[in-house]
Chain A
Amino acid sequence: MAGKKLETFLKQAAGVVQDFFPAGSPVFIPLLYSALVWAVKRKGDLEAEVSGLKLWLEPEIVNNKPDEFILDFFKGDPALTWTFSLELKNREIKSLRQAFRALYPVKGLEEPFLQSLFSEEIAKGDYRLIVAQFDSRLRLALDEIKATEKQLELWPALKDIGENFLSLGWALMAEPELRARLKANLEKNEQTEEEE
């Protein structure tokens, strides 16, 4: 499918999802992006996916990792090594562990919703901002989705968008490439809307 077609499709899809949220909501792009990624991965129950988000953040999964695992996580990624060089140099495990709690689900486990929610910060490499705003931004996003859940049409609408997306043959594209193109197009859409 040509790039133009994808752009049009995403514009329409964004229009549909946007209607469920208040103006200027930071949630609908991550939700649309995740819905399309999940559709490609044949995950039918979007509602379960979103409500399962908290599982990705279960403190025990990330909080109880050994110090060496945390150090390895930061040292294994050049951008993280650079950002947290001082803490790494001084072996400040306490603050690294705190940062790890936010960054591991985003950068390590690559949860699509969280990646989209913090896409701007990831693109800019502003990992400290992700750590600082992780709890509040995520809570806000989940609260907004929860409020929207009362509108029963949200999940079927997202499912329809996912199915239409699949019927256009996008599932054949490699996932990393697909994610990159979706991201670029959705962000472009968002910018255009803001300008308008």
Chain B
Amino acid sequence: MKKPDSSVCKNKLRPSSLTGGGSGLKLMAVFFALIFLTGCVSSSLLKAKTDYLQAERLQRSLRQEEATAAYKRTRQEISAVISRKPSGEAYLLKGLTEVNLNLWEEAENSFRLAASLGEDKAQAWAEELRLFGLARSFEAQGWTETSTRLYGVLTEKGKYQPVVRASVGRLVDLRLKALVDFSEPLEAAQKEKNKILAEALKMVERAVEQEPACGYYHYLLAQVLAHQKDYNQSLEEAVMAKELGLPSEEIWRDNDLQIIFCYEQLEKSLQPEELTAFRARYNSWVKKWKWPTETTPDWKRS
């Protein structure tokens, strides 16, 4: 097939050539083609938006794997839209999708491009993602103090919820890691451990205050409280985390095992009169979750 001559096309589109009858028709054809293409791009953008919302719905219903697949699909769709017609809105959606896929660096880049195309709020998000990426790099290189400081800044001053949540998670992990690694003589160690735990607790409690319906924060709280041997409170927080939803299956399962651990510890320590009421309360949850026994979650097989 003969390749179309692009110079001819260019000539035909020149304003001076638009006055002729045939050229008028061609202009109309080009006009409608443009409208059609714009329509295609907008409908693809709309489809990507719909898929993004669907992915969010799946995530809220704790169907994490399906949500991940939907986010991946959305990212592919939105990348195709961008390659045809880049826009601030498209880059913003791409960035949001990438955050959900934990592609932090890519998200930062998308938000920057969104900001340069007029999406003002994306600039601040890109800055927060950049700081978070920096903190992760420092952490990977063993610069714990610097990364802790950066996570702390994001936890206190951050506005972009996914970054704030991830920073709180990293901060708690770093604090608990310090606790586990502690190898000082017993008495001095206990004092220092209590201090670290009090700090971690304060940090997560503040996060819960700001976002009480975030299951992940309640999960973190349950972890810290278990270190303090406050199994009653830890159990309550883990139950709340389960009811509010958690970001992944492994955290979900770990949280179930945390519930069972607290239950077993309380069974050993409660007085008989308290134990009856506690068992009744606990069993109502077990029934609701359809667990085969008090210490066997529905997914457990061995």
Q: A residues touching B (Cβ–Cβ < 8 Å)?
A: 38, 42-45, 48-49, 52, 55-56, 58, 60-61, 63-66, 68-69, 72, 76, 97, 105, 107-111, 175-176, 179
Contact = CB atoms under 8 A, between A and B. Distances in A.
Nearest to A180: B301
Contacts of A105: 250
Nearest to A179: B301
Main secondary structure of the interface of A (DSSP, over half): helix
A45 B176 CA distance: 33
B301 A110 contact: yes
Interface in B236-253: 248, 250-251, 253
Nearest to B229: A68
A66 B176 CA distance: 9
Contacts of A108: 253-254, 257
B69 A45 contact: yes
A109 B253 contact: yes
B248 A55 contact: yes
Nearest to B252: A109
B211 interface: no
A23 B66 CA distance: 33
Contacts of A48: 65, 68-69, 72
B301 A60 contact: no
Nearest to B299: A110
Contact of A175 (B68, B173, B301): B301
B3 interface: no
The 10 closest A-B pairs by CB, nearest first: A45-B69, A64-B176, A60-B173, A176-B301, A43-B65, A48-B68, A56-B250, A109-B253, A66-B227, A44-B69
Contact of B66 (A43, A55, A56, A97): A43
Given A61-B250, A64-B179, 16 more contacts: A45-B66, A45-B72, A48-B65, A55-B248, A56-B250, A61-B254, A64-B180, A68-B226, A68-B229, A72-B261, A107-B302, A108-B253, A108-B257, A110-B299, A110-B300, A179-B301
Nearest to A41: B65
B223 interface: yes
Contact of A69 (B250, B251, B261, B301): B261
Contact of A63 (B177, B257, B302): B177
A44 B66 contact: yes
Nearest to B183: A94
Given A45-B72, A48-B68, A97 B180 contact: yes
B43 interface: no
Contact of A49 (B65, B179, B299, B302): B65
A148 to B, nearest CB: 19
Contacts of A69: 226, 258, 261
B246 to A, nearest CB: 12
B177 A64 contact: yes
Nearest to B262: A69
A63 B177 CA distance: 7
B156 interface: no
Interface in B280-302: 299-302
Contact of A60 (B65, B177, B227): B177
Contacts of A60: 173, 176-177
B176 to A, nearest CB: 4
Contacts of B302: 107, 110
Contacts of A76: 264
Interface in B69-116: 69, 72
A56 B68 CA distance: 16
17 contacts: A45-B65, A45-B72, A55-B248, A61-B251, A63-B180, A64-B173, A64-B176, A66-B227, A66-B229, A72-B264, A72-B265, A108-B253, A109-B254, A109-B257, A110-B253, A110-B300, A179-B301
Given A64-B177, A64-B223, A66-B226, A45 B68 contact: yes
Contacts of B66: 42-45
Contacts of B177: 60, 63-64
